[in-house]
Structure 1
Amino acid sequence: MSHQHVHTLINPQNGNLAFKLLSFENNSHFDHLQRNNYFSLIWVTKGRGKVKADFAEHHFEENSLLAFSPYQPFMLCVSEPIEGIAIQFHPDFYCIHMHQKEVACNGVLFNNIYQPPFTAITEEASVVFKMVLDQMKTEIQNAELAQYELLISYLKIFLITASRLKNQQLEEMKSIPNSKEPFILQNLKDAIEMNFKTKHSAGNYAELLNISAKALAKLSKHYFNKTLTDLISERIIIEAKRELYMTNKTVKEIAYELGYDDEHYFSRFFKTNADVSPQIYRETVGFGKMEA
């Protein structure tokens, strides 16, 4: 790969980054905490290291695809020099929430609170990725008619290929003996999905699952590399972001739907976890400015 190449499209209406393709030959872009108002897909083709994301740390190997949502904090600490290519895109350019049926990557590649934020890239996927990235590179340099539409089509191919691969890997993991999470953790995931709008404390879930809070905390830390409180908080924040992103509901309404009577308390909770206020999140990322 030739020396650090960057191709960027800017949204002319608001000056936000719309779409960016970045070839990197070292870790200088990612060696400090990132909190971007756009999605990032980072394909590490060489090297290895640790990724710190949200509340957890994970090791990644060569040929990993890392995926991060807007304002998700992350940084890479390398143990072997990395090279690769990154795709970054703003939700205004392509909103994965609105196109969930088409690409089904939300909860798989992005916003999957129970899995490390990366996918191991196979030989086959690698061929598809290279082809798509070459097409993107060519297209981004030609400001021709329907340039955005074509780039979005390539982005979809990339996202679908990656999501299928991640799903496949999750299925394979389930079939390996000893790697199965204890049954109680599947129940925990289901319990969080069903109750996160009304039950916000770790103790609530221990009670629901009829297990001691200490034992549940230990299991959560061991299998998800996160505390139970972190898991619950992340799930609430993902939902809050989705609502800020997709609807015109007021912060107060969203807070209330998520089980918070005090809008200010909720805003502080959001800011602690997302590093920006709900209002700023909506202004820089959300579709709240559009008609719902």
Structure 2
Amino acid sequence: MLQTSNHTLIDPKTGNLAFKVMTFEHNIFESLQRFNYYTLVWVTGGTGRVQADLSEYEFTENTVLSFSLYQPFKILPETQLKGIVIHFHPDFFCIYKHHKEVACDGVLFNNMYGAPLVSLPETSRQTLQLLAEQMKEGIRIKGFAQYELLVSYLKIFLIMLSRLKSEQYPQQATDMTGDDEPFVLQNLKDCIEAHYKKKHAVSDYADMLAITPKALAKITKRHYKKTVTALISDRIIIEAKRELYLTNKTVKEIAYDLGYNDEYYFSRFFKKNVEVSPQVYRETVGSDRG
């Protein structure tokens, strides 16, 4: 029997979801998802795999899956799942505005190169469970300073997850340490994000960062186990996939938007990375939108 319990706060100005805490005792998100808010899925029971952007990861019970705005993801259960889902809109809680307090940007969210997983040790579960219950109660009871109360609970929840993930994936957290190499990598990610539609050459990014292509390649290989070209390609492919299943643009239009004047060259590039043509990908994903 499917069972779901949810507590939802609606933004009175827009009528859209602001904050939501939901418990579930069935498999969810088996079709492709892409929300306009941040999502945390705490799997308290069950196992499976999660597909996020270009990668697939296995998870077990007491794992939190984190997804950014508009990030495509799908959860493929191997056993029956149960757990807690938290959604929050950036208008309700802006992770950029609160970055110094929470520091979850680039750790829990907006890191296309990292696994969207946090394992919860037993010592943390009780506190997080209590916070989730307090959030639900805070949504249910309307009253003075409701927003401030809910944001306080959410901040603590995110801080705990960010600390755990930084411990479990120290390589992803090195951008916070202040040494030279992670600083370069953070700038590289920012540069790719800003220019991937127009600049595809490694030399372009090396010039922006005032570093030689060889030195940049060495740093990137050490930290990400990938070449700079692969990082640029990953970002292009992510955007191409999003455009293919979220818009009705032609392949030619998408190719042009991503800096390719030759539609056929772009199609070959896409197929090399995804193993199917853009049109086949669109047809396959389109049949799975649900």
Q: TM-score, normalised by structure 1?
A: 0.66
Asked if the contact 2:47/2:61 (under 8 Å) is kept, the reply is yes
Indicate how the Cα distance of structure 1 residues 105 and 192 shifts in structure 2: closer, same or farther if over 3 A, else same.
same
Partner of 2:85: 86
Match of 1:9 in 2: 9
The Cα of 1:123 is off from its aligned counterpart by 1.0
Judging changes above 3 Å, is the alpha-carbon distance between structure 1 residues 72 and 79 closer, same or farther for their aligned structure 2 residues?
Answer: same
1:20 alignment counterpart: 20
Counting aligned pairs with the same residue, the percent is 40
Look up the match of 2:214: 210
Matched, 1:228 2:231: yes
Once the two structures are TM-superposed, the CA of residue 269 in structure 1 deviates from its matched residue by 4.3
In 2: Cα distance, 1:169 partner to 1:60 partner: 14
**Residue type matched to 2:18 in 1?**
A
The answer to whether the Cα contact below 8 Å between 1:67 and 1:118 also exists between their aligned partners in 2 is yes
Report deviation, 1:223: 6.2
Residues 191-236 of structure 1: CA deviation (Å, up to 9, x unaligned): 724743457325448985439x9x9999999669x94334444899
Q: Which runs of 5+ in 1 are unaligned?
A: 175-184, 238-263, 271-292
| SS class of match (2:214) | coil
Superposed CA RMSD in Å reads 3.8
TM-score (norm: length of structure 2): 0.67
Amino acid at match of 1:8: T
Q: Distance in 1 between matches of 2:256 and 2:86?
A: 31
- Say if 2:68 and 2:109, in contact at 8 Å, map to a contact too: yes
Cα pair 1:9 1:17 within 8 Å, conserved? yes
Structure 2 CA distance for partners of 1:187 and 1:153, relative to 1, 3 Å: closer
Looking at structure 2, the residues matched to 231 and 191 of structure 1 have their Cα atoms a distance apart, in angstroms, of: 17
Give the AA of the match of 1:228.
L
CA shift at 1:69, angstroms?
A: 1.1
Gaps of 5+ in 2: 174-180, 207-211, 241-252, 260-290
For residues 204 and 30 of structure 1, what CA distance do their matches in structure 2 show?
40
Shift in CA distance, 89/173, structure 1 to aligned 2, threshold 3 Å:
closer
Q: Count the aligned residue pairs.
A: 229
Q: Is the 8 A contact 1:17 1:90 kept in 2?
A: yes
1:171 counterpart SS class: coil
Distance, in Å, in 2 between the alignment partners of 1:143 and 1:88 is 19
For 2:76, the equivalent position in structure 1 comes to 77
User: How far does residue 189 in structure 1 lie from its aligned partner after superposition?
Assistant: 3.5
Describe the superposition over 1:261-288 as per-residue Cα deviations: whole angstroms up to 9, x where unpaired.
Answer: xxx9899449xxxxxxxxxxxxxxxxxx
Q: Is the 8 A contact 1:125 1:162 kept in 2?
A: no
Question: Secondary structure in 1 aligned to 2:147?
Answer: helix
Q: Which residue of 2 aligns with 1:39?
A: 38
Distance in 2 between residues matched to 1:73 and 1:235, nearest whole Å = 9
Distance 1:94 1:173 in 2: 23
Change (3 A) 1:190 1:20: closer
